[in-house]
Amino acid sequence: MKKKKAPPPPATAPADPHQWSEQSQAAVAASFRTHYSDKAYRCRHCSGDALFSAAEQKIVYEVKKAHIGVQRVLCGACWRDGHVVAQKIADCEARWAESKQVLAHDAAFLSAWHALLLLHQRYGAKADSAAKNMLRKLLDRIVGEDAHIE
């Protein structure tokens, strides 16, 4: 009978808490963290297996100055997809700022923007209730106007 190979031990990288953000340096972890270790996790969006490597942790905490309590919840692909959705939302907001009067009657634009907001939440973004409510009211108004036309 073949023995299963044991998984390799997690990789490590030395930690330098003096490079952390001021808030992280004030955390309890600053007094005892000597290294980072690979951390396996399941992506919140696609449920795939992912790894927050020790080398990535070193960059995130020491170079980018993210708080030491920040953990990954999205795999790389889902994280990138979430940023694409965020950019599309920003594009919608820019178009809206330029042409509110016209776009307030454009059901396709309003529906697409609303769908992007809902999708962004699935990637872990906070709900933008104000924008969603505004879009819903505008869409309801358009549907009401269309009903009066017929």
Q: Is the pLDDT of residue 150 over 50?
A: no
**Region 79-103: what's the mean pLDDT?**
97
Of residues 121 and 6, the one with the higher pLDDT is 121
**Region 88-101: what's the mean pLDDT?**
97
Residue 149: pLDDT band with limits 50, 70, 90: very low
Q: Is the pLDDT of residue 147 over 80?
A: no
**Region 74-101: what's the mean pLDDT?**
97
How far is residue 85 from each of residues 108, 114, 115, measured CA to CA in Å? Answer: 17, 12, 10
Residue 29: pLDDT band with limits 50, 70, 90: confident
Q: Is the pLDDT of residue 45 over 90?
A: yes
Least confident of 16-20, 136-140, 145-149: 145-149
pLDDT averaged over every residue in the chain = 91
Q: Is the pLDDT of residue 117 over 90?
A: yes
Give the pLDDT score at 2.
67
Q: Is the pLDDT of residue 31 over 90?
A: no
